[in-house]
A = this chain, B = another copy of it.
Amino acid sequence: MGNGLDLEQDVAALTAQLVDVRSVSREEGELADLVEAALAALPHLRVDRDGHAVVARTGLGRAERVVLAGHLDTVPIADNLPSRLDADGVLWGCGTSDMKAGVAVQLKLAAGLPAPNRDLTFVFYDAEEIAAEFNGLKRLADRHPDWLAGDFAVLMEPTDGRVDGGCQGTLRVQVRTTGRRAHSARSWLGENAIHKAAPILARLAAYEPRRVEIDGLVYPEGLNAVLIEGGHAGNVIPDSCAVTVNYRFAPDQSEDEALERVRGVFDGFEVVLTDSAPGALPGLSQPAAAAFVEAIGTPPAAKEAWTDVARFSALGVPAVNYGPGDPTLAHTREEHVRTAAVREAERKLRQWLTA
């Protein structure tokens, strides 16, 4: 295929080819072009494009439609390109695990399953690794929700081959104190806003986070100060202090309920919401999800971090995370993926979609 993507090659070799096309967030154009061109050559797929996102769909009139989604972008490269395959069959490089291995599996299935047992939608999107305002899946959900329609979605983020159901929600608030400035040589004329923050930190330190079980999965919450700022200069009594608190909450709570809980913890303090994203229920009791879990054959777990599955959840599509990479390696200089794991993911999904 010259400079194009070769979808006939082994999935591990395809992963390496994808990794070697640099695609840092907002610079996914070249990779999106390659993906679009490779899929457009397949007569059984309808291909749509929006910005640096590509969506390819079968139209077989099957009873169920499954969405397989992955992002094309990576975090900035950390001197770890081009990719390198070592003697143990481990592929090293930026994006190997998060998540070009998953994208390679999608592309292999797109090319190799012209007549699957369920209709398939393959979503390749941009800008997952940066601020939500740029997120390609968010943009598709806003502009083309019909492209994302389905009965069940698998987001192929790295999970080490485990099915991670749903995801926790996340919100951030600023908890603020105010005081009165004064020269620190005459501190009794002022009112120290940093000292007033003592109970905020004490309540955080004493907080016992919930552990919530849903569909047999346990979601452990967390309530943490992530930033603190206060003061002006070395000789001034500070008149303001702000603690940014991140609440990771189980998907049994709505965003509003989660915010109410946080307000309760900081009763008596000014609490200002800065951002918020809902969780996603695992939905493992749904038939399409249950069949998928059975095909993968390992016990599912709760997803801790917020992921784009919540965007499918918001569209009414139950969604899980499943992918061959190791999530703990994401964004590290030592990012790598076992090629055996990539082949196994391809094999299991192929089995599920052809059985």
Contacts and interface: CB of A to CB of B under 8 A. Distances in A.
Task: Count this chain's copies in the assembly.
Answer: 2
Contact of A220 (B188, B224, B231): B188
A273 B220 CA distance: 40
A231 B234 CA distance: 20
B222 A238 contact: no
A238 to B, nearest CB: 6
Contacts of A183: 305
Interface string A73-105: 000000000000000000000000000000000
Contact of A231 (B186, B226, B238): B226
Interface residues of A, number: 46
A121 interface: no
Interface in A271-285: 275
Contacts of A194: 201, 204, 224-228, 243
Interface in A176-191: 183-188
Given A188-B220, A195-B205, A198-B202, A229 B228 contact: yes
B230 A185 contact: no
13 contacts: A184-B224, A184-B248, A192-B224, A194-B201, A194-B225, A195-B204, A195-B205, A226-B231, A226-B232, A226-B236, A226-B237, A227-B230, A228-B228
Q: Nearest 10 CB-CB pairs, A to B?
A: A227-B231, A187-B222, A198-B201, A185-B305, A194-B225, A195-B205, A198-B202, A228-B230, A184-B246, A185-B304
